[in-house]
């Protein structure tokens, strides 16, 4: 006789799983408390008092705004590039079989599978060999390269679920290739692209390792934070920025999850 | 009246072959339909050009640089083929860095497996409906939340005046912490400047990368296999060793690719939380930055590529890629 699948878990497993999840979440929650501490010089716990003054101080810091604006611009353009390249690649790989198909998917995944420092140093040595000066565009070049994979992953999963007969039906009814793309393919993959785009944005917004190699003198927000972690100037401001970064990356991820949750759990698998 | 003229007067909607579309877009659309390979090539061209030139080109540039050497007197890069730079990797100081990084990556991977297994197993076998979604989000959110913030959070926790010391003091366990910190290799002045701290931060940052593939592999283990095993008299431990673990192995190996590779290449975590002893990533960073020795930095960077190459080769043989 088949026993009931919904029997409850052994106590030990429950405790271990709960502890594991607490281990994953408590440290992030701690950031929220530290953003309001009155302590300036150390990481003292428990905080001697709570205050909201650091929010105002951070708000009036031009360097934070500059870093934030650079990060948003880089992430936006990298996401656009990644959306175009990732969708093209996904469409090609999922709609047909051809020689070297496996190699193409490997090539897309490689920038994220190899450690970031390798992508970083590789780009830097290419820039130095070809005498390309560091600029806004060198940062975008690096970011777009590893953002392609998240768009690609989401789009491929959606293409796999979209029936090819829809496209054939569209052709049979007299639509041309562009109309088919506009009225049949695009509506089908739109939410997957949106989700992929958001994840690409979050990935780029948060990137630090590759950026340190491709940025020159400019500071994205993560670089600004790294700088503060190594040589702290005003710790409470760092705390507030950390809290804001958590909140800013949280939203696109939750949205991406809700856009792709029915069926394919691909939104973030394989960052 | 002939049949042909009848169809002609009806403006021929019955014909199977439609007339060519007018305009450039129409012609293009027809071309795509008649030659799907052309469309395929056109779609593949931009991503392949980008990845091929930007990424593979860069990797090649890196490989090339690692065969150059640096002139010790002038500090200029000598662009002639030599293996001298690779020989430098074998010097005691540099070889130590490689060994230290590989040992750390292995330990982090083992710890991730141990911590991830209960979460993945619970999510795969017992969580249902809303709970399953919640579990998934509970793993996804830490995976995607800012890497630097996560490292920073551990700096706050492990600091001498931080929450961990406070907690241990409340529990009257400070002697344990002090005893641990007094040990060689793993100890230090406080946890935030010890190898133990580096280890904890690494495990924390990469743990979700282990949970997801492991859960995917465990989802595929039919529940009745576990029940059959206990029906046949196996203890839970035996069931785990002989049934569950071998079936989950591809997922574990897939997860370990991430934890191992990411630890090998990281230079932020040991820089913020840890001792002054370098890891491969830090060596790459400081060689190319302050030291200006790009050939040695490139040679150091090739080490993780080679190690991961072997690792991936082994993983592929174990069927880990099906679990990704």
Task: Give pLDDT tens digits for A164-202.
Answer: 788 888 888 888 888 888 888 888 888 889 888 988 998
Q: Is B209 on the interface with A (CB under 8 A)?
A: yes
> Rounded to an integer, what distance in angstroms lies between the CA atom of residue A257 and that of residue B137?
8
Across chain A, mean pLDDT equals 84
Residue A265 resides in a domain: no
Q: Looking at CA atoms only, how far is residue B300 from chain A in angstroms? A: 10
Query: Does pLDDT of A26 surpass 80?
Result: yes
The predicted structure's pLDDT at residue A270: 40
User: Is A237 found in the same domain as A170?
Assistant: yes
Sign of CA dihedral B124, B257, A147, A93: negative
User: Is A127 found in the same domain as A23?
Assistant: no
Distance of CA A167 to the CA centre of its chain: 31
Proportion of chain B above pLDDT 90, given as a percent: 19
Query: Does pLDDT of A83 surpass 90?
Result: yes
> Rounded to an integer, what distance in angstroms lies between the CA atom of residue A25 and that of residue A19?
10
User: Is A147 found in the same domain as A35?
Assistant: no
The predicted structure's pLDDT at residue B111: 96
Across chain B, mean pLDDT equals 84
Name the pLDDT band for B183 (thresholds 50, 70, 90). Answer: confident
Residue A271 resides in a domain: no
The predicted structure's pLDDT at residue A265: 45
Whether A149 contacts A86, CB under 8 Å: yes
Instruction: Point out the residue among A24, A111, A242 whose CB comes nearest to the CB of B142.
Output: A24
User: Is A162 found in the same domain as A100?
Assistant: yes
The predicted structure's pLDDT at residue A7: 63
Residue A24 resides in a domain: yes
Residue A2 resides in a domain: no
User: Is A76 found in the same domain as A39?
Assistant: no
Proportion of chain A above pLDDT 90, given as a percent: 19
User: Is A170 found in the same domain as A99?
Assistant: yes
Query: Which positions in chain B touch A3 (Cβ < 8 Å)?
Result: 227
Name the pLDDT band for B54 (thresholds 50, 70, 90). Answer: confident
* Closest A-chain CA to B301: A118
Q: Is A88 on the interface with B (CB under 8 A)?
A: yes
pTM of the entire predicted model: 0.83
Query: Does pLDDT of B82 surpass 80?
Result: yes
User: Is A173 found in the same domain as A70?
Assistant: yes
> Rounded to an integer, what distance in angstroms lies between the CA atom of residue A68 and that of residue A205?
9
Label each residue of chain B as H, E or C: CCHHHHHHHCCCCCCCCCCCCCHHHHHHHHHHHHCHHHHHHHHHHHHHHHHHHHHHHHHHHHHHHHCCEECCCCCCEECCCCCHHHHHHCCHHHHHHHHHHHHHHHHHHHHHHHHHHHHHHHHHHCCCCHHHHHHHHHHHHHHHCCHHHHHHHHHHHHCCCCHHHHHHHHCCCHHHHHHHHCCCCCCCCCHHHCHHHHHHHHHHHHHHHHHHHHHHHHHCCCHHHHHHHHHCCCCHHHHHHHHHHHHHHHHHHHHHHHHHHHHHHCCHHHHHCCCCCCCHHHHHHHHHCCCCCHHHHHHHHHHHHHHHHHHHHHHHHCCHHHHC
Mean pLDDT of B53-66: 86
Q: Looking at CA atoms only, how far is residue A163 from chain B in angstroms? A: 18
Name the pLDDT band for B104 (thresholds 50, 70, 90). Answer: very high
Q: Is A190 on the interface with B (CB under 8 A)?
A: no
Whether B281 contacts B233, CB under 8 Å: no
User: Is A231 found in the same domain as A111?
Assistant: yes
Query: Which positions in chain B touch A14 (Cβ < 8 Å)?
Result: 122
Residue showing tokens 């641990």:
B180
Q: Name the region of B274 (left: φ>0; alpha: ψ -120 to 50; beta: rest).
A: left
Query: Does pLDDT of A266 surpass 70?
Result: no
Q: Name the region of A4 (left: φ>0; alpha: ψ -120 to 50; beta: rest).
A: beta
Domain boundaries of chain B, sorted by first residue: 23-66, 88-323
Q: Looking at CA atoms only, how far is residue B148 from chain A in angstroms? A: 7
- 3-state SS class at A37: strand
Domain count, chain A: 2
pLDDT tens figures, A95-110:
777 777 778 877 887 8
Q: Which domain holds residue A41?
A: 8-51
Give the range among A96-100, A134-138, B206-210 with minimum mean pLDDT.
A96-100
Task: Residue A189: give its domain's CATH number.
Answer: 1.10.3720.10
Whether B95 contacts B89, CB under 8 Å: yes
Of residues B139 and B77, more confidently modeled: B139
Query: Does pLDDT of B88 surpass 80?
Result: yes
Interchain proximity A125–B266, CB inside 8 Å: no
Mean pLDDT of A134-151: 90
Mean pLDDT of A141-146: 90
Query: Which positions in chain A touch B32 (Cβ < 8 Å)?
Result: 177
Give the range among A71-85, B9-23, B84-98, B200-214 with minimum mean pLDDT.
B9-23
Q: Name the region of B233 (left: φ>0; alpha: ψ -120 to 50; beta: rest).
A: left
User: Is A75 found in the same domain as A40?
Assistant: no
Q: Per CATH, is B88-323 categorized as 1.10.3720.10?
A: yes
Q: Name the region of A2 (left: φ>0; alpha: ψ -120 to 50; beta: rest).
A: beta
Q: Looking at CA atoms only, how far is residue B13 from chain A in angstroms? A: 12
Whether A143 contacts A74, CB under 8 Å: yes
Query: Which positions in chain B touch A214 (Cβ < 8 Å)?
Result: none
The predicted structure's pLDDT at residue B114: 94
The predicted structure's pLDDT at residue B15: 57
Interchain proximity A117–B284, CB inside 8 Å: yes
Query: A-contacting residues of B 214-243, CB under 8 Å?
Result: 216, 223-224, 227, 236
- 3-state SS class at A50: strand
Residue A143 resides in a domain: yes
User: Is A255 found in the same domain as A189?
Assistant: yes
Mean pLDDT of B104-124: 93
Q: Is B140 on the interface with A (CB under 8 A)?
A: yes
> Rounded to an integer, what distance in angstroms lies between the CA atom of residue B142 and that of residue A268?
11
Query: Which positions in chain B touch A121 (Cβ < 8 Å)?
Result: 62, 284, 288, 297-298, 301
User: Is A252 found in the same domain as A180?
Assistant: yes
Q: Is B115 on the interface with A (CB under 8 A)?
A: yes
Residue A107 resides in a domain: yes
Of residues B323 and B71, more confidently modeled: B71
Whether A221 contacts A205, CB under 8 Å: yes
Q: Looking at CA atoms only, how far is residue B249 from chain A in angstroms? A: 18
Proportion of chain A above pLDDT 70, given as a percent: 94
Residue A245 resides in a domain: yes
Interchain proximity B138–A110, CB inside 8 Å: no
Of residues B205 and B84, more confidently modeled: B205
Residue A80 resides in a domain: yes
User: Is A95 found in the same domain as A38?
Assistant: no
Q: Is B125 on the interface with A (CB under 8 A)?
A: yes
Closest CA to A79 of A180, A149, A153, A9: A149
Query: Which positions in chain A touch B122 (Cβ < 8 Å)?
Result: 9, 13-14, 17
Query: Does pLDDT of B321 surpass 70?
Result: no
Query: Does pLDDT of A43 surpass 70?
Result: yes
Closest CA to B54 of A220, A139, A221, A14: A139
pLDDT tens figures, B226-264:
888 888 988 888 888 888 888 888 888 888 988 998 899
């Amino acid at each position: 006789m088949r026993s009931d699948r919904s029997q409850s878990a052994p106590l030990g497993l429950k405790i271990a799983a709960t502890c594991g999840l607490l281990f994953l979440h408590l440290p992030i929650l701690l950031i929220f408390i530290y953003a309001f501490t009155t302590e300036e010089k150390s990481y003292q716990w428990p905080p001697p008092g709570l205050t909201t003054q650091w929010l105002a101080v951070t708000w009036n810091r031009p360097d934070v705004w500059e870093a934030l604006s650079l990060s948003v611009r880089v992430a936006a353009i990298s996401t656009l590039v990644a959306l175009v390249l990732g969708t093209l690649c996904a469409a090609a790989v999922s709609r047909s079989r051809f020689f070297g198909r496996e190699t193409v998917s490997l090539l897309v995944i490689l920038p994220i599978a190899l450690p970031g420092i390798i992508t970083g140093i590789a780009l830097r040595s290419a820039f130095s060999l070809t005498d390309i000066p560091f600029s806004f565009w060198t940062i975008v070049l690096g970011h777009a390269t590893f953002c392609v994979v998240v768009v690609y992953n989401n789009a491929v999963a959606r293409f796999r679920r979209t029936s090819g007969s829809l496209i054939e039906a569209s052709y049979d009814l007299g639509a041309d290739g562009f109309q088919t793309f506009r009225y049949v393919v695009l509506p089908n993959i739109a939410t997957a692209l949106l989700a992929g785009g958001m994840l690409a944005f979050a990935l780029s917004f948060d990137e630090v390792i590759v950026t340190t190699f491709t940025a020159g003198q400019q500071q994205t927000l993560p670089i600004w934070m790294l700088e503060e972690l190594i040589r702290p100037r005003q710790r409470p401001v760092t705390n507030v920025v950390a809290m804001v970064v958590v909140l800013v990356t949280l939203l696109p991820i939750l949205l991406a999850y809700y856009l792709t949750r029915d069926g394919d759990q691909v939104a973030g698998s394989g960052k | 009246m002939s049949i042909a003229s009848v169809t002609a007067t009806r403006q021929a909607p019955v014909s199977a072959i439609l007339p060519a579309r007018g305009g450039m877009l129409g012609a293009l659309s027809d071309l795509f339909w008649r030659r799907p390979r052309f469309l395929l090539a056109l779609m593949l061209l931009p991503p392949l050009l980008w990845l091929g030139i930007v990424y593979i080109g860069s990797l090649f540039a890196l490989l090339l640089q690692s065969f150059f050497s640096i002139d010790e007197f002038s500090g200029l890069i000598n662009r002639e083929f030599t293996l001298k730079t690779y020989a430098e990797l074998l010097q005691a100081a540099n070889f130590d860095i490689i060994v230290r990084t590989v040992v750390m990556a292995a330990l982090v991977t083992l710890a991730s497996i141990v911590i991830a297994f209960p979460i993945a197993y619970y999510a795969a076998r017992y969580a249902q409906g809303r709970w399953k979604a919640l579990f998934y989000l509970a793993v996804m959110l830490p995976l995607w939340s800012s890497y630097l913030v996560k490292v920073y959070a551990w700096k706050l926790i492990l600091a001498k005046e931080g929450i961990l010391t406070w907690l241990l003091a409340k529990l009257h366990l400070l002697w344990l912490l002090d005893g641990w910190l007094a040990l060689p290799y793993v100890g230090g002045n406080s946890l935030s400047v010890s190898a133990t701290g580096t280890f904890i931060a690494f495990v924390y940052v990469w743990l979700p990368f282990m949970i997801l593939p492991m859960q995917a592999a465990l989802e595929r283990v039919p529940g009745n296999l576990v029940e059959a095993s206990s029906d046949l008299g196996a203890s839970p431990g035996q069931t785990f060793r002989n049934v569950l673990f071998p079936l989950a192995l591809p997922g574990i190996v897939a997860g370990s690719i991430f934890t191992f590779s990411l630890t090998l290449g990281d230079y932020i975590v040991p820089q913020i939380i840890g001792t002054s002893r370098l890891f491969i990533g830090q060596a790459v960073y400081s060689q190319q930055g302050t030291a200006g020795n790009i050939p040695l930095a490139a040679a150091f960077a090739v080490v993780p590529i080679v190690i991961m190459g072997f690792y991936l080769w082994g993983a592929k043989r174990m069927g880990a890629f099906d679990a990704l």
